Structure 1
Amino acid sequence: MGKSRQTSLECKQSFCDSVDRIKARMPRYFFDVVSGSNIVADEEGTDLPSLDTARSEAVSDARYLMSEAILRGEDVSHKVVQIRDDRGDVVLRVPFADTIRRQG
């Protein structure tokens, strides 16, 4: 194997190791969808750099779910995305209705 090919592979592995270290330090957030007493729990979670980023993700998720529901003729604006941290504590609640920009 040529020197440049070996160096390239070492760089790729070094990059992957760096990404793994960064992800290990990133908090994991779980996005549950709550409707009254019914909770659809996120079992996997997502590694994100901050709660603010998690909130942005929750807003996007809620908007997506609402758009899908509208196409089916359903109103799901009463639902909430509940964000939990890796200890299982609820750190933020994002009501679907709050993710809509209202004109007025």
Structure 2
Amino acid sequence: MPRYYFDLLDGDILAVDEEGVELPNLPAAQAEAARSLADMARDAVHDSMFAVDRRDLAIEVRDADGPVMQVKFTFEVERSRH
């Protein structure tokens, strides 16, 4: 079973996954990345509620041969003047 690594990007901050996880195939890795990113996004939106107007999050998925995909989430607030 292939091992996939999920490196986390929060703006310019990179957290490299040194352990990885064995998954049956690339669609399973994509589903895992999407679930993890949804959790990160929920926490980031809550933490950033009034602190920032934009937050870029991503998970870069790689296997033993290198990068295979990147899953991204951007939270952005555009305020209107009244």
What is the DSSP-based 3-state SS (H/G/I as helix, E as strand, rest coil) of the residue aligned with 1:67? helix
Q: Percent identity?
A: 32
Q: Does 1:55 pair with 2:26?
A: no
Query: Structure 1 length normalisation: TM-score?
Result: 0.60
CA RMSD of aligned residues (A): 1.9
> Where in structure 2 are there 5+ consecutive unaligned residues?
75-82
What is the DSSP-based 3-state SS (H/G/I as helix, E as strand, rest coil) of the residue aligned with 1:90? strand
Say which structure is richer in strand.
2
| Amino acid across the alignment from 2:33 | A
CA radius of gyration, larger in: 1
CA 1:77 to 1:53, structure 2 compared with 1: closer, same or farther past 3 Å?
A: farther
1:83, 1:30 → 2: CA distance? 6
> Where in structure 1 are there 5+ consecutive unaligned residues?
1-25, 98-104
Structure 1 residues 1-104: aligned runs within 5 Å: 26-74=1-49, 77-87=55-65, 89-97=66-74
| Amino acid across the alignment from 1:83 | V
CA 1:35 to 1:72, structure 2 compared with 1: closer, same or farther past 3 Å?
A: closer
Deviation at 1:96, TM superposition (A): 1.9
1:80, 1:68 → 2: CA distance? 13
Count matched residues. 71
CA 1:77 to 1:57, structure 2 compared with 1: closer, same or farther past 3 Å?
A: farther
Deviation at 1:77, TM superposition (A): 4.6
2:45, 2:35 → 1: CA distance? 15
Query: Structure 2 length normalisation: TM-score?
Result: 0.74
